[in-house]
Each structure stands twice: as C-alpha cells, then as structure tokens.
Structure 1
Amino acid sequence: MIVLPTTSQLLRDVRNELAHTVAPEVHGAVARVALEQIDIILEQCAVRSADEIAWMAEEISEMLAYADDVAAATGDEATAAALVAARSNAAGTLHLDDMAHDYTLTSEALSCALEACMADPDQSELLRRGVEILRLRRAERETVVRANWRLVGRG
C-alpha cells in the first residue's frame, strides 16, 4: 500500500518493483542495460518532481530581484523590457507548465541583466552576483538531479 502517493514516491515505488521483481528475471545483457537506464531516469524524475516547482519559484524570485537591481543601477532598456515582459506575461500559477513558462520569461530578464553588466565595467559586483545565481542555483540543482548518474553497460 502506498501511503504517500506523491509523484516522487510513486516513481520510487516503480523503481523498487523493477529492481526487486523484474530485474532478477532479466538475463540478457542488452535488456539489463536498458533496465539500468530506466532506473536512472526514474530516479532523476523522482528528484525533479519532488522539488522542481519550488526550485523554479525560488529562482524566479531571485532572478527578478537581480534584474530589478541591474535595471535600476544601469538603466538598461533591454533588462527593463524583459522585466516588464516577465511580469505582465506571467501565468502566475503553480502548474508545472505555467511555472516553466514564467521561468523562461524570467531567464530572459536574467540574461539581459548579465549582458548589461558585462557591457558596463562599473557593474563588476552586480555581474559577480549574477554569475553566482547561475552557478549556485542552477548548477547545484542540476548536480542534485544528476547525483546518481552513471554510465550503464560500461566496464
């Protein structure tokens, strides 16, 4: 019985069933490699499904704040326009597709802000902050998602 029916838990239950019921019955090398690949993908999906919306909401907030600061400091029109587009076209719901849409719009504001900082030598501190947003948030979270990544069928 599944007492915690989140998407993440359901995916992990499928992984468990594959590992303990199906895998022992699979004897062909190609099929075993395919099963391992499926296991990796299911685990990555489980990790993402548990946290992806929260991660996007946090990053959207952080990117908007950063782009606001850059627009105020530089007067960059592209950053200001991207901020207006991100805010006026935001879906504003927690549905995954809507969050991904909002994230894409906000990422454009971040991109414009970074470009504005690169073009202005006086904005080196703001540029460092923008790079940290990319490095610490996006890269760290991809590392979490891919933590169990391994090459299968090698060795």
Structure 2
Amino acid sequence: MMVRPTTSQLLRDVRHELVETIAPEVTTATARVALEQIDIILEQCAVRADHEIAWMGEEIAEIDDFAGRVIDRTGDEPTAAALRAARHEASGSLALESMCDDYNRMSAALSCAIEACMGQPDRADLLAEAIGILQTRRSERELVVRANWRLVGRG
C-alpha cells in the first residue's frame, strides 16, 4: 500500500521498478542507454512535480509586485493593462493548467514591464530586476530540477 501517492512518489516508484526489475534484463547497450535516459527524465519530472505549482505561484507574486512598481514609476499603460488583465483573469485555482494560464498572463505583464524599461537609463535598476526574475529564479530552479543529471552510458 502506498501511503504517499503523490506524482513525484509514483514517478520514483516507476524509476525503482525500472532499475531493480527491468534493467537487469536489458542486455543491449542501446537499450541500457535509453533506460538511463528514461530514469533521468523521470527523476527530473519527480522534482518538478514536487515544486512546480509553488514555483509558479512565487513567480506570479514576484512579477505582480514588480510590474506594479514599474507602473508606479513609469505610468506605462501597456504594462498597466496587462497587469489588470492578469489580475482580473486569475483563476485562484491551484490546478496545474489554471496555474499555467495565470503564469502566462502574468508573464505577459512582465514582458510589457521590461519593454517599458528598455532603453531608459533612469530605469536601468528596474530592467536589472526584471532580468533577475527571468534569469536567476529560473536558472536556480533548473539547477534543482537537474540536480541528479549524469552522463548517460557512463554509469
């Protein structure tokens, strides 16, 4: 009986079966490499499943705050319109598809905010912050997802 039937646990259980039951029966090098690739992908999916909704929620809040400050400082109407739309259409649901929709709408507001800051020397600090949202947060999270990466076929 599975006491914690989360998506990540199900993926890790599949990984365990692949390694313990199927891998010993696989004899060709090509199939072994394919099995290792599958194992890596399953682990990355498990890590992502553990965090994906929380990460999107955190980034949505960060973008909302940032876009609001860009509007306060610049009065940029496209950013204001995109932020209003993102807030108005926010589902409030934690279902993955709904969160993805909310995230995409808020990302549109971020794009507008970035455009409002580009080429404006007095807004360089805001542009640097936007780059931080895009680069730092996302690359940090990608490092978490890829933590168990290894060269396939090398053991």
SS of match in other structure, 2:59:
helix
Name stretches of at least 5 consecutive residues in structure 2 with no aligned partner: none
Q: Residue 99 of structure 1 aligns with which residue?
A: 99
Q: Residue 37 of structure 2 aligns with which residue?
A: 37
Q: Residue 13 of structure 1 aligns with which residue?
A: 13
Is 1:80 aligned with 2:80? yes
Distance apart, 1:14 and its partner CA: 0.9
SS of match in other structure, 1:138:
helix
Distance apart, 1:149 and its partner CA: 2.8
Distance apart, 1:154 and its partner CA: 7.0
Distance apart, 1:136 and its partner CA: 2.0
1:42-57 matches, within 5 Å, as 42-57=42-57
Which region of structure 1 is more displaced relative to structure 2, 100-109 or 117-126? 117-126
TM normalised by structure 1 equals 0.93
Q: Residue 128 of structure 1 aligns with which residue?
A: 128
Task: Answer 1 or 2: higher relative contact order, Cα 8 Å, separation at least 6.
Answer: 2
What is the rounded CA distance, in whole Å, between the counterparts of 2:138 and 2:80 in structure 1? 23
SS of match in other structure, 1:119:
coil
Aligned residues: 155
What is the rounded CA distance, in whole Å, between the counterparts of 1:21 and 1:86 in structure 2? 48
Matched AA of 1:9: Q
Q: Residue 63 of structure 1 aligns with which residue?
A: 63
**Cα RMSD, aligned residues only:** 1.5
Structure 1 stretches of 4+ with a deviation exceeding 3 A read none
What is the rounded CA distance, in whole Å, between the counterparts of 1:112 and 1:154 in structure 2? 45
Which region of structure 1 is more displaced relative to structure 2, 2-11 or 45-54? 2-11
What is the rounded CA distance, in whole Å, between the counterparts of 1:142 and 1:82 in structure 2? 27
SS of match in other structure, 1:99:
helix
Q: Residue 27 of structure 2 aligns with which residue?
A: 27
Percent sequence identity is: 66
